[in-house]
Amino acid sequence: MIGILKAHLEEGQRRIMEKRLLCLARALLGKAGVLLVEEAHPDSESECLLQQLVRTHLPECTVLWLTCMYLTVSCDHRVLVLDAGHPVEFDSPSVLLQQGKLFRQLLRESQRGVLHNTDGG
């Protein structure tokens, strides 16, 4: 699985991902109770693989994802939305999609960004 991740990364990004994988290995070996994962994955495929590793091998671990990608939070139990460092919304992703103003806005913007990038500009 690590080979798949590396294949999609440029050299600078590879070093960052290698550090993350080493930290994840440390969490797995130490049976971490809490894991903090900062976003900055170069692509959604790498992001999905990392999430799969965490969810499969650390099911009892409390995971805090620092992210702006909806894909990252769509399967999570609770989402805390921050605005200028202050909490403004907190609930499940499904509730926030229906009732959360900022969460819904951020999701729309991220989807537009993905569509914009796939259209070539």
pLDDT tens digits along 36-65: 887 655 566 777 777 788 888 888 888 887
If asked whether residues 58 and 116 sit together in one domain, one would say: no
Confidence band (pLDDT; 50, 70, 90) for 119? very low
Domain count, the chain: 2
Decide if 10 is inside a domain: yes
User: What pLDDT score was predicted for residue 61?
Assistant: 86
**Higher pLDDT residue, 121 or 62?**
62
Q: Is residue 84 part of a domain?
A: yes
Kind of pairing between the strands at 79-83 and 86-91: antiparallel
Whether 3 and 38 share a structural domain: yes
Note the pLDDT of residue 118: 45
- Whether residue 72 lies inside any domain: the answer is no
Which residue type, as a one-letter code, is found at position 88?
V
Are 61 and 90 within one domain? no
E strand residue ranges, the chain: 34-38, 62-66, 79-83, 86-91
Domain housing 100 = 77-121
Residue 92 lies in a domain: yes
Element (H, E) at 43: none
Mean pLDDT of the chain: 75
My answer on whether 57 and 87 are in the same domain is no
Please give the pLDDT value at position 44.
67
